[in-house]
């Protein structure tokens, strides 16, 4: 049963909320009064809860993204992350397609995407390191930040290392998946058109690495947003507790 003291306190909160108008959000004020001591309210969260919950969310997002991209057609079949022809080669591609030589352009695009699919699983270890070194301040900023705050954290802490680590892997993958040979064929078929735009100097490995990481961060951001917005995406009690406290 609600005590008289509690009822008076609630009534006082209502009066204060109505009196402060634009200086306070009355809904938040009431919620902080009524729910502040509940199990699901923000006050119930310890620093340990916040850090553990964010680490769990980051790990879930990273693993889902790596799993989705690091398989056959992970990049190629997803228009959001599919790696297209490098901008420097678009005019060469257009010339080949005009000459009905589409297959050489298509083969080159295919092999670039295959190289990215082969390289992305190597990101797991570095993403794991970024998760383990998260501090309490990092976690609070992520929890109270925008929908992609965790992804921004990954970029800040791990993007340089990911680029350094993945480039040689991409280089190896470009050899194994045939990018090098298909690029040479593509350029040979383009002939004068390729030389005209200086396309022979394109850094294919750097381009594939950059696009692969861009796709990885995009999917991590989408998973992060899903966990924030959709209670059904919070697969553990800890995720429900931490992210449910922000609603």
Q: Give residue-wise pLDDT tens across range 135-148.
A: 888 888 887 888 88
Give the lowest-confidence range in 27-36, 108-117, 120-129, 144-153.
27-36
Domain that residue 8 falls in:
1-35
**Same structural domain for residues 177 and 219?**
yes
d(C-alpha 95, C-alpha 194), whole Å: 9
**Same structural domain for residues 120 and 75?**
yes
**Same structural domain for residues 24 and 108?**
no
For residue 242, name the pLDDT band (cuts at 50, 70, 90).
low
**Same structural domain for residues 111 and 192?**
yes
Neighbouring residues of 99: CB distance < 8 A, sequence distance ≥ 6: none
**Same structural domain for residues 31 and 57?**
no
Within a domain: residue 194? yes
Q: How many domains does the chain have?
A: 2
- Taking the alpha carbons at both ends of the chain, their separation in whole angstroms is 26
Tokens matching residue 111: 């092999």
Q: Are 68 and 221 in contact (CB under 8 A)?
A: no
**Same structural domain for residues 56 and 113?**
yes
**Cα-based torsion angle of the residue sequence 7, 9, 10, 12 in order, rounded to the nearest 10 degrees:** 120
Within a domain: residue 174? yes
d(C-alpha 22, C-alpha 210), whole Å: 46
Within a domain: residue 50? yes
Q: Output the pLDDT for position 14.
A: 37
Only one residue has tokens 């004020």, namely: 29
Whether 24 shows a pLDDT value over 50: the answer reads no
**Same structural domain for residues 149 and 226?**
yes
Whether 29 shows a pLDDT value over 60: the answer reads no
pTM above 0.75, yes or no: no
**Same structural domain for residues 117 and 173?**
yes
d(C-alpha 53, C-alpha 131), whole Å: 11
Residue 142 vs residue 67, higher pLDDT:
67
Q: Output the pLDDT for position 213.
A: 92
Within a domain: residue 157? yes
- What's the Cα-to-Cα distance from 90 to each of 59, 86, 232, rounded to whole Å? 37, 7, 43
Q: Output the pLDDT for position 55.
A: 82
**Same structural domain for residues 110 and 172?**
yes
**Same structural domain for residues 29 and 56?**
no
Within a domain: residue 75? yes
**Same structural domain for residues 2 and 72?**
no
Alpha carbon 31 to chain centroid distance? 32
**Same structural domain for residues 9 and 65?**
no
């Amino acid at each position: 049963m609600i005590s008289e003291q509690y009822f008076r306190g609630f009534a006082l909160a209502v009066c204060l909320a109505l009196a402060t108008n634009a200086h306070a959000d009355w809904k938040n004020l009431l919620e902080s009064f009524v729910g502040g001591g509940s199990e699901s309210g923000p006050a119930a969260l310890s620093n340990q809860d916040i850090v553990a919950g964010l680490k769990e969310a980051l790990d879930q997002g990273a693993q889902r993204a790596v799993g989705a991209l690091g398989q056959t057609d992970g990049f190629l079949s997803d228009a959001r992350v599919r790696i297209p022809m490098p901008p420097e080669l678009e005019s060469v591609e257009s010339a080949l397609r005009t000459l009905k030589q589409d297959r050489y352009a298509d083969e080159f695009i295919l092999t670039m995407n295959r190289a990215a699919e082969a390289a992305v699983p190597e990101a797991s270890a570095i993403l794991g390191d970024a998760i383990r070194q998260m501090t309490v301040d990092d976690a609070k900023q992520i929890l109270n930040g925008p929908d992609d705050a965790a992804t921004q954290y990954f970029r800040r802490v791990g993007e340089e290392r990911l680029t350094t680590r993945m480039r040689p892997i991409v280089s190896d993958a470009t050899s194994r998946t045939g990018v090098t040979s298909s690029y040479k064929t593509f350029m040979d078929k383009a002939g004068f058109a390729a030389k005209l735009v200086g396309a022979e100097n394109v850094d294919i490995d750097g381009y594939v690495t950059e696009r692969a990481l861009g796709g990885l961060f995009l999917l991590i951001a989408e998973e992060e947003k899903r966990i924030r917005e959709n209670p059904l995406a919070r697969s553990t009690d800890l995720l429900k507790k931490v992210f449910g406290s922000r609603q």
